[in-house]
Structure 1
Amino acid sequence: MPEATRPDTAAAIAAGIDEAEIAGLACDLIAAASENPGGTEAHAVRVLAAACAERGLDVKTTDVAPGRPNLVARLPGGDSAGLAFLGHSDVVPAGPGWTRDPFGPEISGGRLYGRGSTDMKGGLASIVVAMGAIKNAGIELPGPIDLICTVDEEDADLGVRAYVEGVLAAPDGPPSYAACIVAEPTDLETVIACRGACNLVIDIGGVAAHAGRPQDGANAIDAAAKVIGLIRDDHERMTAAASGLLGSGTWNVGRIDGGHGTSIVADSCTIHVDRRLMPGESADGVRDRLADAIRQAGIDTGGITVTVDVEMEMPGFSTPPDHHLVTSAVAALADGAGITSEIGGWTAACDGGFIARDLGVPTIVLGPGGLNDQAHQPDESVAVDELVSAARAYTLLGCGTYFP
């Protein structure tokens, strides 16, 4: 393995990170509105691709769907395993409640405002500027650095699924990464464990009848209430046993539709459910356990049918706290930005689970901005100095200074 960059050299590169450069690129990305649902990522990806090319990175885009391109930007290196940065180009819809133009970025009081400033165009800008600084320094890297930017993270994860499928099917096999850093907003906390998520759709069939003689039918809404009772009981069981950084899996019944009228016994009902997954859990396993519980409870009898389908899955992941990726991230934040980074877990879900599960790459989440107080909210913003701190830490990590 080629020798990693000297710490003093890496520190000098990180210290040269320019605040105006990061803020300018983040503003350009925010102005390239890419709301999802909507499939409008192409403009933002063009801005990102141009910024990467200007900094001498090798850029490749691949359409996942018409007008929805994934991007991979590479800073070449030696033959050792590389470092992957992971992000996404889409943002949630601006929605109501803004006091400023969500796609007219502005800086005020040291904060950058605009949809995606925190989640996660600010993080993308920090990555690109860090990679550009390393490129400009002309140092020899042990392995390549890749920025993987996917579409559709905020909806159905089409982008990361297509990326993983593509690299697994590649003639030379998937790229070799020693580590993956997801630049989602963590307030620069080093997140080593992340819950996954799945959406289940439970379709219940019954038998219609006149409400005056309900015994002639089979009420799908009554059956749905029993299913929801099973879900509630399982939620309470899991949360009572919660432990560690991630606590436990959770259930949430988010939507229910059923019946045709007050005087008709409901012959159908559909329940839409969110289930947060612990690392190692799968959506198929959750579905099968719920379906088995429904059968054991005898709910699917007497004219009632129940089917449980997986609509979406994002896997969770966990990286040991003593892994060199974790200790390196903590050291890079301390040395590059003077930040003492806590090690924590994330109750949200992100695309990093696919990289960890399907490619077997150790993964953390580490990025500027706040998930709980800024992401997906009106007047979303990020502190500009957090963007700079993130870029400096990414620079030190990219130079390989701390890696064995």
Structure 2
Amino acid sequence: MTDVSVAGDIESRVLSAIDDDAVVELTTALVQAPSENPGGTESAAVAVLEKACREAGFDVEITEVAPGRPNLTATLAGGDGPGLMILGHSDVVPAGPNWTGDPYRVRRDGDLLIGRGTTDMKGGLAAAVGAMKAIARAIADGHAAVSGPVQLVCTVDEEEHGIGVRDFVGRPSRHEFAGCIVAEPTDMQVVRGCRGASYLEIDITGRAAHSGRPKDGRSAIEAAASVIELIRADQRALDEHLDDLLGAGTWNVGTIAGGQGISVVAPTCSLGVDRRLMPDEDVHRIAEVLRSAIRAARIDTDGITVDVRVTMEMPGFATPADHRLVTTAVDAVTDAGVPTSVGGWSAACDGGFVSRDLGIPSIVLGPGDIHSQAHQPDESIDVADLAVAARTYALSALRLLS
């Protein structure tokens, strides 16, 4: 067992080695390498991250999962035991309108860095690099050791279809991991569970006819309305059984398009549906249940056909409140200087794949706030939050891998 005073001295040395200015500089450089998605433009930002990681002496691997779309893993070597994974993504949502300046030219307003991706989630990536660099320096100086590797994983396409994380979890790893911290913006609250996300496309085909004699046709729009009623009924059923951490799965009909003209019975209609998933739910099973309900309601008869397709799935996850990863993270945030709490998250993230497919216990913990800052005009992050995040990641690694 490590002597408490020795452990405290090691942590102090590592924390003092964190370069807050370098974390800010890397955040700025990452933001100023635009990586909007849709667009498949992550390569410039990954090149910035790769350069920083190689200069820090990490073992860096680049895997192109699609043309111009590279995943990155950067590993700080440790002992042969299980390590700590820190997970992030390089893509950002499009800047959109209503910015007061260039979204890809970082501006500083007091303690705020303003730019697309500062919060979601290039600040989290930079904080992870800053923590790993400080640990590496302490190891090189003989002041610290870790029992397993610390590995930063940066994937592409998190904001759309998750091709980056799907590729990552499908490849064999040389390391085992005791836990994964997803560095998404949680305002440094420890998120031990997330719902997943999924998309379903529902295409309905009917038969056109003159609107003067609508019974000659079969309205795809009316059939779509019946499908929506099935979805609403299922939502009511879901809401009757709420989970204490994550609530319930939810449906949202986000898009609808159909019809040929006002004077024509609609021959087609399409629905774009979002279904948020509980950790034990499978969207393909949900789609099959919906198909069965459509058949039972006889919606797809008498000239109407309904096709239900799953076009995206991001699984949810939940890690027990008393898991060492959770309790260590809570103590690390507190010792880094800010209050925290443990709870669930309404958003989804790549951590669900790591938890489900690799069996690695996962939490979400990062600087910035997803609700008030991410995906908005003049997205920003407080430089103090970056410093707290870097210290939290460093303390978590040292304590988990002691």
* TM category, shorter: over 0.9
**1:292-345 CA distances to partner (integer Å, 9 max, x unpaired)?**
11111111111111111100000000000000000000011122x122210011
What is the CA–CA distance in structure 1 between the aligned matches of 2:381 and 2:90, rounded to whole Å?
17
Looking at structure 1, the residues matched to 170 and 319 of structure 2 have their Cα atoms a distance apart, in angstroms, of 23
Distance 1:39 1:402, change over 3 A: closer
Residues 115 and 384 of structure 1: CA distance in aligned 2, closer, same or farther (over 3 Å): same
TM superposition shift of 1:6: 2.2
User: Hey, what does 2:263 align to over in structure 1?
Assistant: 263
Q: Which runs of 5+ in 1 are unaligned?
A: 168-172
Separation in 2, partners of 1:133, 1:60: 21
For residue 224 of structure 1, what is the aligned residue in structure 2? 224
Amino acid at match of 2:44: H
Q: Tell me if 1:176 matches 2:176.
A: yes
Q: How many residues align?
A: 397
The answer to whether structure 1 residue 360 and structure 2 residue 365 are counterparts is no
Partner of 1:160: 165
Q: Write out aligned runs for 1:312-351 (5 A).
A: 312-335=312-335, 337-351=336-350
**Alignment correspondent of 2:61:** 60
TM-score, normalised by the number of residues in structure 2: 0.96
* Preserved contact between residue 2 and residue 142 of structure 1 (Cα < 8 Å): no
Matched, 1:37 2:38: yes
SS of match in other structure, 1:398: helix
Task: Tell me if structure 1 keeps the 8 A contact 2:32–2:106.
Answer: yes
Q: Is the 8 A contact 1:324 1:403 kept in 2?
A: no
Query: Using the alignment, how far apart are the partners of 2:340 and 2:129 within structure 1?
Result: 22
The answer to whether the 8 A contact 2:194-2:246 is kept is yes
Aligned with 1:6: secondary structure?
helix
Cα distance in 1 for residues equivalent to 2:283 and 2:310: 7
CA contact (8 A) 1:11 1:396 kept: no
| Match runs of 1:118-129 below 5 Å | 118-129=119-130
Once residues 240 and 51 of structure 1 are traced to their aligned partners in structure 2, the CA distance between those partners, rounded to angstroms, is: 50
User: 1:62-88 CA distances to partner (integer Å, 9 max, x unpaired)?
Assistant: 111111100000001111111100000
Partner AA of 1:26 in structure 2: T
Where 1:83 maps in the other structure, the secondary structure is strand
TM-score (normalizing by structure 1): 0.95
Using the alignment, how far apart are the partners of 2:206 and 2:174 within structure 1?
48
- Look up the match of 2:21: 20
Q: Which amino acid aligns with 1:59?
A: V
The DSSP-based 3-state class of the residue aligned with 1:271 is strand
Secondary structure (helix, strand or coil) at the match of 1:124 reads helix
Alpha-carbon deviation of 1:140? 2.4
Aligned equivalents of 2:330 and 2:200: distance in 1?
37
Range that drifts further, 64-73 or 8-17: 8-17
- C-alpha contact (below 8 Å) 1:72/1:148 kept by paired residues: yes
Counting only pairs closer than 5 Å after superposition, residues 207-246 of structure 1 correspond to structure 2 as: 207-246=207-246
Are residues 1:301 and 2:306 paired? no
Contact conserved, 1:14 with 1:393, CA < 8 A, in 2? Answer: no
The within-5 A match list for 1:87-106 is: 87-106=88-107
1:195 aligned partner, one-letter code? R
In 1, distance between residues paired with 2:210 and 2:124?
58
Q: Distance in 1 between matches of 2:9 and 2:211?
A: 80
CA distance, structure 2, for counterparts of residue 265 and residue 210 of structure 1:
6
TM-aligned CA deviation for residue 141 of structure 1: 1.6
Structure 1 stretches of 4+ with a deviation exceeding 2 A read 1-8, 239-243
SS of structure 1 residue aligned to 2:121: helix
1:225 Cα deviation after fit: 0.3
Q: Could you tell me whether the CA contact under 8 Å between 1:3 and 1:142 is conserved in 2?
A: no
* Long gaps (5+) in structure 2: none
Letter in 1 for 2:223: A
Kindly indicate whether residue 201 of structure 2 is the aligned counterpart of residue 201 of structure 1: yes
Give the CA deviation at 1:240. Answer: 3.9
Give the Cα–Cα distance (whole angstroms) in 2 for the partners of residues 285 and 239 of structure 1: 19
Report SS of the residue matched to 1:243.
coil
The range that moved more, 103-112 or 68-77, is 103-112
Contact 2:257 2:271 in 1 (8 A): yes
- Amino acid across the alignment from 1:83: L
- Any idea what SS the aligned residue of 2:203 has? strand
Per-residue CA deviations over 1:239-297 (Å, capped at 9, x if unaligned) read 34333121111111011111111121112111100010011111101111111111111
Q: Secondary structure at the match of 2:239?
A: helix
Q: Distance in 2 between matches of 1:269 and 1:148?
A: 41
Q: Does the 8 Å contact 2:210/2:263 carry over to 1? A: yes
User: 2:159 is aligned with what amino acid?
Assistant: E
Matched AA of 1:351: D
- Partners of 2:384 and 2:13 in 1: how far apart? 18
Partner deviation per Cα, 1:137-161 (whole Å, 9 max, x = no partner): 1132201111000001111111001
Deviates more, 1:316-325 or 1:109-118: 109-118
Aligned partner of 1:359: which letter? L
1:225 partner SS: helix
Report what 1:75 is aligned to: 76
Worse overlay, 5-14 or 120-129: 5-14
